[in-house]
Amino acid sequence: MILIVDDDKDITLHLSELLLSGGYQCTTFNDAPSALEFLKQNQPSLIISDIVMPGMSGFVFREHIFRDHPHWTIPFIFLSGMDSEESIIKGLDSGADDYLLKPFNDKVILAKVKALLRRHKKYTEPVFHGNLSNLPFTRLLQFCESQGVTGSLEIRTGNSNFEIPLIRGEVDFDNIVNSDVIFEKLTDTASGFFFIKARTPDFSEIESAVSGEFPVTQIEKPMGMLSGINSGKGIIQIQTEYSSYPEPQIITIVVHNGKTVFKKAEKALDISRDVLEEKIRQQHVFVENDITIRLEKVIVAKQPELTPSFGDLFETGLDHYIKGEYKKALEVWTRAKELDSENKILNINLEIVRKKVSS
């Protein structure tokens, strides 16, 4: 279902008839507050919104969607008569996927909608999501690298939206404009939301060669949760997700210094995705709170002091950076570089912190 919001009734009528002819169901509203009320109980596949509307502008409407539904990754199009460079940039910077001008071409609108929905379907819903205050940007890059994620890391902070493309866990810099500026801003960001999205293979081209029907997943996999707790000796990483093998269950794994130190699995019935995501959230928060309260009991007994590893130095440097201790961060990360000079995330961080020290 496509949601259309425009105070011009002629436009909402024309758009809904146009999209209906293309095989899409539509719901229309002539003001943003009514649309927001509708979104409390309904999740569309795509949203098209005007900007200049009485009561609430399209920009504010977009901000409310971010605030009320931070986990949504629905494609969003601004359709407006505001053709200034400033308005277009503001619309795209707010997280919109496209900005189209009025008057519009019917064929172009249909093509844009089709392309956005097709591109959206190339990804699963976010595999994991969480809060940047618990797991900073640099540690998220490390996680994606360790998991070999091909897809993207999406960061939402304030009114800005950033998408970092990933190929087998490595950042695809060829498809990022002004990567230095973006990475410095995200490394300094202490609040917001993140979403890790994995690309789904498209088997349509070989479907005719497969005998029988494709296996059908009964439940669309719900979104997992990922967070971290600073133990003073590195980050304790907590991840919770749904698994259908060997039986439907919700699994929480706690990792410290590269080792699994705790695992919790609860059976999950074949219920709706929304219910499963709420159970995932409850289990994740329970384990997170339990570790926070009993931190000393969760961590393996203290080991004798050893020569710091690359991971220890990286984490120590990041802790200094987050506290604004840039000279100390530079010193520690320089030592880490002696152990692994090719680590791309470390080299990016070194470039950023050198600018901080020299400024």
pLDDT at 219 over 60: no
Give the pLDDT band (50/70/90) at residue 47. very high
pLDDT at 214 over 70: no
* Structure confidence at residue 305 (pLDDT): 56
Region of 168 (left: φ > 0; alpha: ψ -120 to 50; beta: rest) is: left
Q: Determine the number of helices (DSSP H) and then strands (DSSP E) in the chain.
A: 12, 14
Give the pLDDT band (50/70/90) at residue 284. very high
3-state secondary structure of 150: coil
- 184-193: b or e for each residue (b if 16 or more CB lie within 10 Å)? bbbbebeebb
For the chain, give the mean pLDDT.
Answer: 83
Q: Which of 132-141, 159-168, 206-215, 279-288 has the weakest average pLDDT? A: 206-215
Domain ranges of the chain: 2-121, 133-208, 217-301, 310-358
**What is the CA angle 159-162-166, rounded to 5?**
165
- 105-133: b or e for each residue (b if 16 or more CB lie within 10 Å)? eeeebbebbeebeeebeebebbbbbbebe
Q: Which residue has the higher pLDDT, 214 or 37?
A: 37
Residue type present at position 221:
K
d(CA 131, CA 225): 9
Q: Which of 256, 231, 227 is nearest to 135 (CA)?
A: 227
Give the pLDDT band (50/70/90) at residue 15. very high
Which strand (E) or helix (H) includes residue 296?
helix 295-298
**Cβ distance 66 to 95 under 8 Å?**
yes
**Is there a cis peptide before residue 246, judged by omega within 30 degrees of 0?**
yes
Give the pLDDT band (50/70/90) at residue 209. low
Q: Whole-angstrom distance between the N-terminal and C-terminal Cα of the chain?
A: 50
Q: What is the pTM of this model?
A: 0.58
Q: Mean pLDDT, to the nearest integer, of 250-262?
A: 83
pLDDT at 57 over 50: yes
Give 151's DSSP letter: E
> In this predicted model, what pLDDT tens digit does every residue of 69-120 receive, in sequence order?
876 778 899 999 998 988 898 888 887 889 999 988 999 999 999 888 877 7
For residue 162, count other CB atoms closer than 10 A to its CB: 21
Which strand (E) or helix (H) includes residue 346?
helix 344-358
Q: Which residues contact residue 184 at a Cβ distance below 8 angstroms, ignoring those fewer than 6 apart?
A: 352, 355
d(CA 292, CA 309): 25
pLDDT at 273 over 90: no
d(CA 73, CA 341): 36
> In this predicted model, what pLDDT tens digit does every residue of 122-148 receive, in sequence order?
555 567 888 888 888 988 888 888 888
* Structure confidence at residue 99 (pLDDT): 93
Going by CATH, does the domain composed of 2-121 fall within 3.40.50.2300? yes
For residue 296, count other CB atoms closer than 10 A to its CB: 9
Region of 258 (left: φ > 0; alpha: ψ -120 to 50; beta: rest) is: left
Residues in the chain: 359
3-state secondary structure of 237: strand
Give the pLDDT band (50/70/90) at residue 204. low
Longest dimension (CA), the chain: 74
**What is the CA angle 254-260-266, rounded to 5?**
55
